[in-house]
Amino acid sequence: KAGVTQTPRYLIKTRGQQVTLSCSPISGHRSVSWYQQTPGQGLQFLFEYFSETQRNKGNFPGRFSGRQFSNSRSEMNVSTLELGDSALYLCASSLRGPYSGANVLTFGAGSRLTVL
């Protein structure tokens, strides 16, 4: 069964631009989470979506947004890019909802964003 698919894998943008990243979860998984990974800050939670609704949100500015579609696919958007937004953005899906406890996340390979 196919894993979590993230597109694009690599992209380069300039400051001030915006970017949209896509995530297709494992078939049957309804919860999608996004994490940012940087050398300095490590892995940080961005947000989680379940049944097209944002259920949980990390401590990121409003420039970071996301959404989930009826087929559970998710996108995240970063507007007005800053140099510090350069990171690996990881998407993870899980079978159960956010209140189910001990939810096992399956991660995609990530989208590596470089902001120049």
- The residues that touch other proteins, with contacts defined as CB under 8 A, are 4, 31, 33, 35, 42-43, 45, 48, 55-58, 90, 92, 94, 96-110
Nearest distance in Å: CB 15, other proteins: 25
Nearest distance in Å: CB 65, other proteins: 17
Of 109, 101, 98, nearest in space to 31 by CA = 98
| Residue 2, both tokens | 């196919």
In this complex, which beta carbon is closest to other proteins, that of residue 27 or of residue 100? 100
Nearest distance in Å: CB 59, other proteins: 10
Of 25, 33, 2, 9, nearest in space to 110 by CA = 9
Nearest distance in Å: CB 31, other proteins: 7
In this complex, which beta carbon is closest to other proteins, that of residue 94 or of residue 115? 94
In this complex, which beta carbon is closest to other proteins, that of residue 81 or of residue 91? 91
Helices (H) and strands (E) in the chain, counts: 0, 11
In this complex, which beta carbon is closest to other proteins, that of residue 67 or of residue 107? 107
Other CB atoms within a 10 A radius of the CB of residue 35 amount to 21
Q: Residue 99 burial (CB < 10 Å; 0-12/13-18/19+)?
A: exposed
